[in-house]
Structure 1
Amino acid sequence: MDQSLYLLKQAWASLKSKPGFVAAVVTTMSLTLGALLCVLTLAYLLLVSPLPYPESGNLYTVEHNLIDKNGGVDGTAFTYPNLMHLYSKQSVFNELAMMYYDADVLVSKPSHPTLPISFITPEWFSLLGAEMAMGRSFEATEALNTYNPVAVLSYQTWKDEFALEADILSKKVQFGEVSYRIIGVLSEKFVEPQIYGVGNKSQVFLPWDYNSVSPSERKKWGNDDGGLMMLGKLQSGHSTAQIEQQLATLVSDNWQQQVAGHQFFNGWSIGIKLHSLESVIMASSQSTVYLLIAGVVGLVLIASTNIANLFMSRTVERSRQIAICAAIGASRRQVFKMLLAESTLLVGLATFIAIYIASLGFKGMQLFLNHYLPRIDELSLHFITLACALMLVVVFAWLFAYLSMRMIDYRSLNQSMQSGGKGTGIQVSKKVRQGLVLCQIAIVTVLVFINIVLFNEAVTTINRPSGFATEDISFLVISLPAVNETNQDGLVANVSEVRNKLATLPQVEGVSQSMAPMPFFTLALSRLGGEERYSMRAKDVDHAYFDLIEQPLLGGNYFSEADIKDKNKVMIINDVFAKQLAPNGNALGLIFDNGATVVGVVKGILLPGQTTIEPRFYFPASPARNMFLVKTKAGQVITREQVVNVLLQVSSEIKLFSLSTLESRRVERLFAQYTTAVTSGTLAVITFLLAGVGLYGILSYSTQMRRFEIGTRLAIGAKRKEIILLIVKDNAAMILLGMLTSVLVLLTLYLGFRDSLTDYLSGNMTLAFVLTVASIALLSLFACYWPLRKYINQPVVHSLRGSE
């Protein structure tokens, strides 16, 4: 122990005289190891760590499939009656909870915030082992058909909306016309499973009875709703395949009886699929984690190669000191311990800083990737982080000491002492230098190529024309009071007044009472008198919609104001659907079983993030539609305050539900692509720079070792160009071999993971590889030339003397 402390003190004393070396090693190692620790902790959380729920391995979600007569899956969401039937009749789950995700305006707060809401049955809390910070969760008194208006808040809602008020359980929250008594607040540590989508977090939990599905939709057996979900705990001893079949039979038999009078559903059935909660939460995130690991490991390999070069250069500088130690009796083992003490100090300091950098990385991920990667809220310094940090200290400290030790030849040390330390001593062998060059080239070529491919694919998707305008267009949704049929005309009049007042705002150029261009829902229809049936993406729009978003008309007419006012049976289809309906003819005038006639054909739009245009149709919006698109003058917007003021002028019962711009919604849909572009571009640049530093260091040392030879060649008449070609030629073999190695690695990755890589291989691979090779070749030429220039641009005598 005393000897180890002595060696560490000696190492520290020696390192203090080399601040540049210390700074280079610690900075490079801390940054790359910080990134590695961050990604390894994320990988452990997403790939290894169990979900934070009791018996999480037995938790499954239930997927409801509408299967057409050809056996194809028409939709994967529940219909409301089927959900209720399954919940009440099933016997295979120990516990089963229903969930419906929605949002509403909290009218009991003066600011009227819009909060995400989960309507759930009491089993949801017990399935997830939800702990409470205050109060209680739902019990039997809040079970199905009890209509007990109570609410449970998330901890974040208690903090943000109620400032952690101690008397929160004596307060109420009001959504719409119903006031709910707060009975509990979830624990701050509780993590809601992101079943509905990554980043979706419920802020208020209400009893199932009050879900926002309309009374009419609750009776429709053919309309599915993506917000309806189920989570259950399976009984042990049964295979999921058997349970799926049992549940499918239970639901399908009843459903077929209910839709027997609907010709559209002849031959259709219901299928049930079970998915483990872990697979639902993880979805496709595993591939992202693997890509992050590959990228960061590549950076660490390049960085460690560079640092190994620094350590070997450091060993060359200390050759006389090491020779003295050997001369007075130090064994190889003792010399290794001396080198190990120095590398341990440096790597240990770098790893300590890396842990702090990793903790900053966790916060950054939670801030920027919360809607992209699941379980991010659980990310924090973990025992796995510290265990990996300790392992990295041991591995890299030993590796750098071992590489330095491999350079030491005791015969050379003795000769160095006898010659007074001039001309010989420790040198980095040519094989080692060539090996370092090969590794640098192979790693950087693989990483730069992969990052160029990812960057190109992301940028191509981001810049792909969508076919509709988003600039200077806002989308707003208003919350309307519930009314009966006798008051419907008054509601329509109020909504119409809202539209008119929005249109009179000074910066507004146009208003459309329609859904935004990006979301669609699925509707079923068939041609009148035909057997062909269609399940299509659709939306309701008004007469101003297509002009406002600049979606071109290819044939026929847009909707007219009379179509909207009189609720005419008309529809507009996109060109993809038109070609499907009439491959060699004109789809205008075709009539469907709902009585609607095709009056127009528009050019299809490509939704952000998608690669193909789907067949779609449009039908007239209701005069009471609660959504508006507002076109403003260039560079201007409408504010929330302006909209709220308009609504107050019309009716105090109408609230603003949400306000956003189409451009922000487009960017949100492309978040994954933007993240990929920034990450891959940054990694490519960092990789390139690290490789440049490493190659320069290796080739600079090689050139320095040949300075006498260079001086001699220049003295006997060699030209500068010939010297440059000589150095390039000597390193070309290792550079080409490194590139060939990278090709073999890339081919192996392609053959081994072809299916997983399909989405990333749609671009021009040849161009990406040419760009990669060209950039690496230029980098290599620079690394060969730059250290050489001081020898070929100075008088020959300096090189022959061995001085600068």
Structure 2
Amino acid sequence: MLGSIHRVLARICAVFQSSDFDRDLQAEIDAHLNLLAEDHIRKGTPPEEAKRLARLELGGVSQLREAHREVRGLPFLDVFLQDLRYTFRILRRNAGFTLFTIAIVGLGVGASSTIFSVVNALLLRGLPFHDSEHLVWISNRADDGLKEWSVQVGHFLDLRDQTKSFSDLAAYATFSQPADAKMLINGELERLNSLQVSQNFFSFLGVSPQLGRSFSADECRWNGPHAGLLSYDTWKRRFASDPNIVGRAVTLNDASVTIVGVAPRTFDFATVFAPGNPIDIYLPMPLTQETNGWGNTLAVIGRLRPGITLQTARAEFQILSEQIQKQHPERNTLRPILTSLDQHVTGSLHNAFLILSGAVAMMMLIVCANVANLQLARSVTRQKEIAIRAAVGAGRRRLIRQLLTENVVLSLCGGLLGVILAIGGTRLLDGLRAFNIPLLSTVRMDVASLVFSVLLAALIGLLFGFIPALQVPSISVHDSLKDTSRASTGSKRHTWIHGGLVVSEIALACVLLVGAGLLARSFLKVLEQNLGFQPERVAALRIDPSNSYSTRVQRNTYFDEVLARTRSLPGISSAGLTDVLPLAGDRSWDVTAKGKVYARGHFPEGYIRIVSDGYLAAMGIPLRAGREFSERDTPSSEPVAMVNETLARTLWPGQNPLDQIVIGEGGSNPGRRVVGVVADVRHRALEQESGNELYFPTRQRDESGPVYLVVRTPLLPAALASTIRTALHLITPDLSGTEFKTLQQLVDKAVSPRRFVVVLLGGFSAFALILAALGIYAVISYSVNQRTAELGIRMALGASARDLQERIVLQTLRLAGLGMLLGSVAAWIFARTLASLLFGVTFTDPATFAAMLFVLTTAAALAGYFPSLRVSRIDPMAALRAN
């Protein structure tokens, strides 16, 4: 055993001391040669002849060196290093081929690794919480059975106390709005995003504060001590990472709040639950009788007990909900929906990213086919080189190993480039905060992605390396050493392989182009939807009056002055106020009409908008009938409302809605007279039809929260931001929360998930089209070069260059036609998988398929036309002499 170990170690040491061993061996050989030569000299042989005879007696010195190396070291490693050195010499000699191959492999590996990093972060890695596979999202089915609502506090407490399937439940408030908290620090006001959470929220998710502690039971009482827990970014940005921040009091929403902790850097609530809306400070959510009266306000998460399945928990909650509903008929309806948390967070993305993964796989097949085609063409030109190496003693196994080494080195160099591109790609994705996609900011080029890149590159090298390697056994040394013009002519088998690879590239490109075309047309269809408002040249400024405007009269006076000053500014066409912007949040009530009776839980759902006069004009929302709100709609005047066309049809089908009485909040108020009907507005999503919408005048509502000042301008909206802020600060010097955004930004954010998929698939399709065109060009160019003699003879026999060019282009189009025929069938199958992502188009959309055929036909014709131009430079007499 020890002897074997010693021999292995000795061989390993010999690898690193090979030059020393070679010198010792050479010295010993020289000594033997000298001894033998001296013997012959003593016998009377001349010195030169004695040396020759000594070399003959000793035998082959080169073979002796090789035998010595095999005995003392690791022969396979020596051979590998020799192959590697030869590979680098060959690749340097063919720099153009080397760089092109590395570039396309690098682009393919880079794209694949980027998508793998995204899929790994969103679908494979799991959520960044402790034991996340046992977390369950618990929501409440709406009355219409389609939408999901949040859960009432009382229902949450009863479910938490009575469940046997869950070890614990946690919750956070769903009524938070962006920039809903005002923090006063060192005399400066700043708007923050706040979130109210249950006492156990952080411990439930397995998150320990970086500094301080989480909330205590006392702080989670109604009117308990005010406490806050900062996010890591806010602590770093606003408090300069102050290590003594715990226990410090800050002014939040005009109240003193004690900072009790700082969340860890690794915890980002918004990344999982609210992409694009990072939370700055967490506040305790009282789960009491008082907050129960707020209605459905909680998003609930549960942790399954060990051994309990989701199906078991669903069955239990069905029984519990019926029991709780009977015990508390005064509460809102409870119809629990249980979904695994990862399915809730990323479930809607599964199809999109599986499709993108398939697209990347097809693109990589195109890369492999392209490189294999190049390698096949190159292997024909290298036949003479391989034949010479075989003639001087290289075995077929050694030749095959050498070719595989070349291709693996090429692919690994391409893989290195791909890793660099993937790192850049993932950083680019991290910077695209506008994309409203969960967990996108967690995408990184981690160890798993790096391993994937290396394995993919190695696999590509082996795949396209086998094609030239398989040609080695069929190479005839005798024929290959003949005249080059004859020996290098490709066989029919090569021609068939070239053609098959090109057909496969075109078929795969066809699939990707159809997929990208369908998604692009869907994206355009979404953008073409009638939004109900005109976002161009419209901006909104979020404002929040100070506490000096605490009564309804004071706030109305303040809002009147804000509108008057804003409308007087140059460049303002119209201005109005609203409590919520389209595509940026919602709230709903039960609504009914006077005289109509609905069973509890079956009221129509109405989305509430509180707006001022001038709002419709500023937003570009058409008034269909009646009038809009005016200065006459005061707190002392008759309560009025406007409804949209959908609500008018819901409550008064076939009737005139004007002067009808609409009642909000499930009939708990006397109602309002309808004075106007407005067009439907897509408030929730561009793909969703408008729901029932009910508009109240700002002056008649006692709302204390922030509002949005909406302005329409013929100028660029961003140019007016500072002007409007200055005008508002003249009214309220301590005004905070002047967040400025354009309506087009809201539209862009709403379509960002679609744009994300379209951009990626479109990029892959463009790359595939380029590769397919290059593949056609390479094959036709190779074919023209190989057929130079044949084409010259045809020209000598009377064929014109134009006729031969047309034949070459037709040959190209035949290949492309076969590829498009096969690709159209595959594209139809692929398009069916896209059905859930399409909007406004069918997966068999004729326009998309026709556009694909046109693009590929044009690309193929051009790729065949340019190589055909070489025909005009062929000399027929030179071709005849060569044959």
TM-score under structure 2 length normalisation: 0.82
Q: Given the alignment of the two structures, is residue 29 of structure 1 paired with residue 93 of structure 2, yes or no?
A: no
Q: Given the alignment of the two structures, is residue 780 of structure 1 paired with residue 860 of structure 2, yes or no?
A: yes
CA distance in 1, matches of 2:810, 2:719: 65
Q: Where in structure 1 are there 5+ consecutive unaligned residues?
A: none
Q: Given the alignment of the two structures, is residue 219 of structure 1 paired with residue 219 of structure 2, yes or no?
A: no
Q: What's the CA shift string for 1:81-133, capped at 9, x where partnerless?
A: 54455456656532222212523222225553322212112311112221333
Contact 2:140 2:149 in 1 (8 A): yes
CA distance in 1, matches of 2:722, 2:837: 47
SS in 1 for 2:225: coil
Instruction: Report 1:348-363 matches (<5 A).
Output: 348-363=412-427
Q: 1:760 to 1:163 in 2, by over 3 A?
A: farther
Counterpart of 1:445 in structure 2 is 510
How much does 1:705 deviate? 1.6
- 2:849 maps to a residue whose letter is F
CA distance in 1, matches of 2:876, 2:724: 79
CA distance in 2, matches of 1:644, 1:304: 58
Identity over the aligned pairs, expressed in percent? 22
- 1:99 maps to a residue whose letter is Y
- 2:620 maps to a residue whose letter is E
| Greater Cα offset, 246-255 or 440-449 | 246-255
Q: What's the CA shift string for 1:673-730, capped at 9, x where partnerless?
A: 4334433443332222121111100111112222222222222222344323423444
Q: 1:580 to 1:720 in 2, by over 3 A?
A: farther
CA distance in 1, matches of 2:306, 2:440: 31
Q: Given the alignment of the two structures, is residue 771 of structure 1 paired with residue 833 of structure 2, yes or no?
A: no
Considering only aligned residues, what root-mean-square deviation do their CA atoms show, in Å?
3.1
Instruction: Report 1:191-230 matches (<5 A).
Output: 191-192=268-269, 194=271, 196-209=273-286, 219-221=293-295, 224-225=296-297, 228-230=298-300
How much does 1:12 deviate? 0.5
- 2:409 maps to a residue whose letter is L
Counterpart of 1:539 in structure 2 is 609
CA distance in 2, matches of 1:556, 1:587: 10
Counterpart of 2:150 in structure 1 is 77
Q: Given the alignment of the two structures, is residue 380 of structure 1 paired with residue 444 of structure 2, yes or no?
A: yes
Q: Given the alignment of the two structures, is residue 232 of structure 1 paired with residue 302 of structure 2, yes or no?
A: yes
Instruction: Report 1:106-255 matches (<5 A).
Output: 106-108=183-185, 110-145=187-222, 147-192=224-269, 194=271, 196-209=273-286, 219-221=293-295, 224-225=296-297, 228-247=298-317, 250=320
SS in 2 for 1:513: strand
Q: Which of 525, 545, 552 pairs up with 1:460?
A: 525
SS in 1 for 2:465: helix
CA distance in 2, matches of 1:802, 1:151: 89
Q: Which of 497, 510, 521 pairs up with 1:432?
A: 497
Instruction: Report 1:487-636 matches (<5 A).
Output: 487-515=551-579, 516-518=581-583, 519-531=585-597, 533-566=603-636, 568-593=638-663, 594-607=670-683, 609-622=686-699, 626-627=706-707, 628-636=709-717
Instruction: Report 1:274-353 matches (<5 A).
Output: 274-353=338-417
| Greater Cα offset, 40-49 or 107-116 | 107-116
Instruction: Report 1:633-644 matches (<5 A).
Output: 633-637=714-718, 641-644=722-725
Larger radius of gyration: 2
CA distance in 1, matches of 2:813, 2:660: 69
- 1:602 maps to a residue whose letter is V
How much does 1:234 deviate? 2.3
How much does 1:285 deviate? 1.5
CA distance in 2, matches of 1:259, 1:153: 39
CA distance in 2, matches of 1:473, 1:587: 30
- 1:230 maps to a residue whose letter is V
CA distance in 1, matches of 2:235, 2:473: 69
How much does 1:249 deviate? 5.2
How much does 1:802 deviate? 6.8
SS in 2 for 1:561: coil
Contact 2:160 2:168 in 1 (8 A): no
SS in 2 for 1:385: helix
Counterpart of 2:870 in structure 1 is 790
CA distance in 2, matches of 1:801, 1:386: 56
SS in 2 for 1:470: coil
- 2:166 maps to a residue whose letter is F
| Greater Cα offset, 311-320 or 510-519 | 510-519
CA distance in 1, matches of 2:308, 2:237: 45
- 1:147 maps to a residue whose letter is G
- 1:719 maps to a residue whose letter is S
Q: Which of 168, 181, 184 pairs up with 1:95?
A: 168
Counterpart of 2:62 in structure 1 is none
- 1:473 maps to a residue whose letter is V
Contact 2:828 2:844 in 1 (8 A): no
Q: 1:424 to 1:584 in 2, by over 3 A?
A: same
Contact 1:105 1:657 in 2 (8 A): no
CA distance in 1, matches of 2:834, 2:128: 33
Q: What's the CA shift string for 1:26-70, capped at 9, x where partnerless?
A: 1111121011112122222322223232221221222023436xx
How much does 1:374 deviate? 2.4
Q: 1:297 to 1:802 in 2, by over 3 A?
A: farther
Q: 1:591 to 1:401 in 2, by over 3 A?
A: same
Counterpart of 1:8 in structure 2 is 84
Contact 2:633 2:699 in 1 (8 A): no
Counterpart of 2:127 in structure 1 is 51
Q: Where in structure 2 are there 5+ consecutive unaligned residues?
A: 1-76, 664-669
Counterpart of 1:705 in structure 2 is 786
TM-score under structure 1 length normalisation: 0.90
CA distance in 2, matches of 1:154, 1:385: 29
Contact 1:81 1:220 in 2 (8 A): no
SS in 2 for 1:270: coil
Q: What's the CA shift string for 1:385-416, capped at 9, x where partnerless?
A: 23222322331222222101223354533212
- 2:490 maps to a residue whose letter is Q
How much does 1:145 deviate? 4.2
Instruction: Report 1:713-792 matches (<5 A).
Output: 713-750=794-831, 753=833, 756-757=836-837, 759=839, 761-762=841-842, 765-792=845-872
CA distance in 2, matches of 1:232, 1:348: 46
Contact 2:435 2:749 in 1 (8 A): no
CA distance in 2, matches of 1:315, 1:591: 85
SS in 2 for 1:395: helix
Q: 1:801 to 1:548 in 2, by over 3 A?
A: farther
CA distance in 2, matches of 1:355, 1:757: 30
| Greater Cα offset, 722-731 or 10-19 | 722-731
- 1:394 maps to a residue whose letter is A
Q: 1:82 to 1:641 in 2, by over 3 A?
A: farther
Q: 1:195 to 1:785 in 2, by over 3 A?
A: closer
Q: 1:233 to 1:475 in 2, by over 3 A?
A: same
Contact 1:507 1:637 in 2 (8 A): no
CA distance in 2, matches of 1:425, 1:709: 14
Q: 1:781 to 1:641 in 2, by over 3 A?
A: closer
SS in 2 for 1:656: strand
Q: 1:189 to 1:800 in 2, by over 3 A?
A: farther
Counterpart of 1:470 in structure 2 is 535
Q: 1:296 to 1:372 in 2, by over 3 A?
A: farther
CA distance in 2, matches of 1:482, 1:332: 89
Q: 1:654 to 1:706 in 2, by over 3 A?
A: same
Q: What's the CA shift string for 1:723-761, capped at 9, x where partnerless?
A: 23423444444333222221222333355x376355484
Contact 1:589 1:597 in 2 (8 A): yes
